[in-house]
Amino acid sequence: MNASRASRQPVENSTDLDIATPLIAWYRAEARDLPWRRPGFPAWGTLVSEIMLQQTQVARVVPRLEAWLTRWPTPRDLADSPPGDAVRAWDRLGYPRRALALHAAATAIAEQHDNVVPRDVDALLALPGIGDYTARAVAVFAYGDRHPVVDVNVRRVLARAILGEGEAGPAKAKQDLPLMESVLPEDRDDAATTNAAVMELGALVCVARSPACDVCPIADRCAWRAAGYPEHDGPRAPRQAKFAGSDRQVRGLVMAELRASDVPVTPDEIRMVWPDDDQRDRALASLLRDGLAVGDDASGYRLPDGSD
C-alpha cells in the first residue's frame, strides 16, 4: 500500500472539484419518493426511520415505519407502551435491540425534552442508543442544519470520487467527516441536499458491485474513473458473516417464538426452534443479556413489559 492511500488524502486536489452542484441537480430530478423526504415529515419520524434503516433495506422499512408512526405518532406514545410492544412491532426488521434503544430514546425525549426530538447534535447524542451518524442525520434531515453525514454509501462515493479508491475501507470518523465536510456547500439547504444526494448516489448508482458509471452525474469529476478504476489495495471493511446457520438466525427464531405468544414460552417450546442445544442456549442467553427476553425455565420466557 502506498503512502498516499495509507493517509487517505484526496487525489490531486480533487476536493477542489465541485461535486455538489451536479449532485443536487441529479438528486432533485432522480431521488426516490420516500416518506422521510416529504415536506412536513416529523422529526420523530426521521429519528425512527434512521434507526430502522440501519442495516435494513428501504423496501422493508417503509411499511414498518408507516405502521409504527400510525401506532406511536409521538415519542410519548411509544414511551407509554411496554418495551415488549416495541420489540413485537419491530417484527422481522432484524437487530431487535434497535427497538429497545428506540423505546429508551422515546422515553428520554418525552421526559427530558417535552416530547420534542432535540435539534442539537450533542443533545441527540445524549439520548440512549443514539450514535454519531443518527444524531447528525436527524439534525440535518429533520431540521436542515449544516453537518456532514456519513454512512457506508457516502464513504464509498467519497472514496471513489475524491480519493480515487475503489473501496472505502474501514470507517474512520476523524477522516470521513472532514472529507464529507469538504464537499458541502455553505448554504444550509444545499448542504442538506448534498448529504442526501451523496447517500442516494451510493445507494442507486455508485454501488459496491458494478457501479453504473455511465449514468453517474459526477463521472467527469471522479478520481477513481480518471485513474482507470485501479483495484483497491488497502484494508477492507469487515464483512458480515453468513446469516444461515448463524447465532443471529437462531436469535431471530427464538424472538419470533416470543413475539408470537401472549403468554410465557416454555423451555420445551423454545427447544423446538433449533436442534443444536448449545447454539440455541447461547442465543437465548444473549437475548436475556440484551434485555430482549425475560424469564427463566420455571416461569417461561417472554418479551419485556417494563416491570422487570
Residues in the chain: 308
For the stretch 73-97, pLDDT in tens is 999 999 999 999 999 999 888 889 9
Tell me the pLDDT of the chain averaged across its residues. Answer: 91
12 part of the active site = no
For the stretch 34-70, pLDDT in tens is 999 999 999 999 999 999 999 899 999 999 999 999 9
Please give the pLDDT value at position 240.
65
For the stretch 103-117, pLDDT in tens is 999 999 999 999 999
Least confident among 68-82, 216-230, 250-264, 288-302: 250-264
As given in the structure block, the three cell numbers for residue 37 are 423526504
Residue tagged active-site, from 12, 50, 165, 167: 50
Strands 300-302 and 294-296: antiparallel
Determine whether 227 is exposed, middle or buried from the number of CB atoms within 10 Å of its CB (0-12, 13-18, 19+): middle
Question: What are the backbone angles phi and psi of residue 294, rounded to the nearest 5°?
Answer: -135, 160
pTM score above 0.75:
yes
pLDDT above 80 for 2: no
Please give the pLDDT value at position 236.
67
Instruction: Looking at 162-299, list the stretches that DSSP marks H as alpha helix, in order from N- to C-terminal side.
Output: 173-183, 188-204, 223-226, 247-259, 267-271, 277-290
In the three-class reduction of DSSP (H, G, I as helix; E, B as strand; rest coil), residue 294 is classed as strand
